Structure 1
């Protein structure tokens, strides 16, 4: 990873912007390109877009994916990450200090409502953090009855699920919010459309985001509709920029590329964008600010280049932008 910076602990957003007296689109926006860095607010996004630009958005909704459990009589939290094709789930066991790495195949945990969870096997070779697990009840029912949004230590109090949904959310399935799209409001979207900016939907259900050091991104379920693929081709042919709203949208869109073009596709993607696999069709990305050791930084480099990303993060630290899902946002442009 080429981008390096130190993140002061007081730059983690601890609450939604609405709790800080801001509208959703009132968070700060840092616009970085090879030519310049500009500081503004998200409601002014349209000033940095052109008619014919295409914003690709993720329509995945956020699940209440954190559930209290008992492990040998001791309370812990289970994070439900990903639903697998055979009905099992990828889960993470958590304590207040972080992930629990001592799971055992066959271990049984008690869930609310007389449900139970049995660990089957590690979800990835060489990782002790994520487990494939069988659940005795319908997981969506367990989450609806007893789940809450996943949150980490920098968010000290609970917030309702509605604070973790974006305006584009249509199909629940993400363990954590595709947060780059959170600042969009219906009024902002309407204004951008009126100015000739295009929108295209896709789907990627994201899993939990707290990897161990050096752990690659997990495989995720995605879908790129034929109409979105056609809009990408249309915009590129006419000189419009294809801008992914979030790392999830970038990963899904690039997973549908073959022979230099986007095609309708769905299934599972294990694509890891980075220096060895730069973005083929994504020209820019709207994205939150990621932690220094996050694999997402490699994806940002794959889209905008290491120089632009480094310049953006240096400026964000210097200007005291706020990090994480309730924080500020950047627009990184390749050219």
Structure 2
């Protein structure tokens, strides 16, 4: 995709509610090939057909940022099968194997690099990752936001399974009112779970393994909808990744790009992604290069807002 620049004025620095807009009142850009139209998110039910299926990620967001006793901010990304944690020391150049970071009620010992930013760490803390972060953490916040927001700001209406380091934000505008309108329209909704790590996908790094589970009821409904001629629309790139892995549960290391055939998804509801994000490769796989270019040019021209508190994009194949 042609490179582009997001002006700072188009960064959503606060939730819609704090900007005087309802949570489900953000803007919705719809792409059908190279045809682009502009709506409010509350228009979504009327843009879908009875019998379509939205698949949502019900992973709930953890307060995954903690501060060491020495003042180093650490983002806790993922707990691996062996019990180690993937962590990202922020604004800290002294990371090295064996370094012990003192955190509230325990410590994190860096073992080895995992990526250019993430470290494998041994966690000596009371309880598991979810329990510990719930007690001692705060939500991950990046510099484009204007202040700290409570963890409830980062939860989707249907989030029931704690585990994500960052919000699966494509579903943020799916309020109870919109979900009710979808049901009244005859649009189906089904969950899966994928626990997201920190946003490595926004900085030139491929996404790393993340744990997921697709319930058998959701898999059966997907098959029924596709056989009946309905569309399966993923709410977020995490849902695409889980479904396209092709297994019901486990750790997915699938990286979806233009050379990866999309088998289970007919559309994608997602946010607007950074120019260097590997997510854009997934969007190209869903919609095609030409369609993606047309939509992003339109989003910039129409001054859509980026990031987790921003506007939303529906791509239909």
> Does the alignment reach a TM-score above 0.5?
yes
Whole-angstrom CA distance in 1 between matches of 2:202 and 2:260: 22
SS in 2 for 1:55: strand
Paired position in structure 2 for 1:105:
97
Whole-angstrom CA distance in 2 between matches of 1:158 and 1:301: 33
CA distance 1:101–1:295, shift in 2 (3 Å): farther
**Structure 1 residue 141 displacement after superposition:** 3.5
Contact residue 6 and residue 274 of structure 2 kept, 8 A: yes
Contact residue 65 and residue 138 of structure 2 kept, 8 A: yes
Paired position in structure 1 for 2:141:
151
Whole-angstrom CA distance in 2 between matches of 1:35 and 1:301: 12
1:231 aligns with 2:221: yes
**Structure 1 residue 212 displacement after superposition:** 7.9
Whole-angstrom CA distance in 2 between matches of 1:288 and 1:42: 12
1:318 aligns with 2:301: yes
1:94 aligns with 2:90: yes
1:164 aligns with 2:154: yes
Whole-angstrom CA distance in 2 between matches of 1:216 and 1:22: 34
Contact residue 200 and residue 206 of structure 2 kept, 8 A: no
Paired position in structure 2 for 1:259:
none
Gaps of 5+ in 1: 257-263
Paired position in structure 2 for 1:261:
none
Contact residue 202 and residue 277 of structure 2 kept, 8 A: no
Q: 1:286 aligns with which of 245, 269, 277?
A: 269
Whole-angstrom CA distance in 2 between matches of 1:3 and 1:279: 22
**Structure 1 residue 35 displacement after superposition:** 5.3
Whole-angstrom CA distance in 1 between matches of 2:37 and 2:80: 42
**Structure 1 residue 213 displacement after superposition:** 4.8
- Alignment RMSD: 1.4
1:265 aligns with 2:261: no
SS in 1 for 2:244: helix
SS in 2 for 1:218: coil
**Structure 1 residue 94 displacement after superposition:** 0.4
SS in 2 for 1:251: helix
Whole-angstrom CA distance in 2 between matches of 1:245 and 1:195: 18
1:129 aligns with 2:127: no
Contact residue 4 and residue 310 of structure 1 kept, 8 A: no
Paired position in structure 2 for 1:78:
74
1:296 aligns with 2:279: yes
Deviates more, 1:35-44 or 1:266-275: 35-44
Whole-angstrom CA distance in 1 between matches of 2:285 and 2:201: 20
**Structure 1 residue 47 displacement after superposition:** 1.7
Paired position in structure 1 for 2:314:
331
User: How many pairs are equivalent?
Assistant: 315
1:51 aligns with 2:29: no
Whole-angstrom CA distance in 2 between matches of 1:87 and 1:215: 23
Whole-angstrom CA distance in 1 between matches of 2:233 and 2:208: 23
Gaps of 5+ in 2: none
SS in 2 for 1:119: strand
Q: 2:111 aligns with which of 111, 120, 125?
A: 120
**Structure 1 residue 26 displacement after superposition:** 0.2
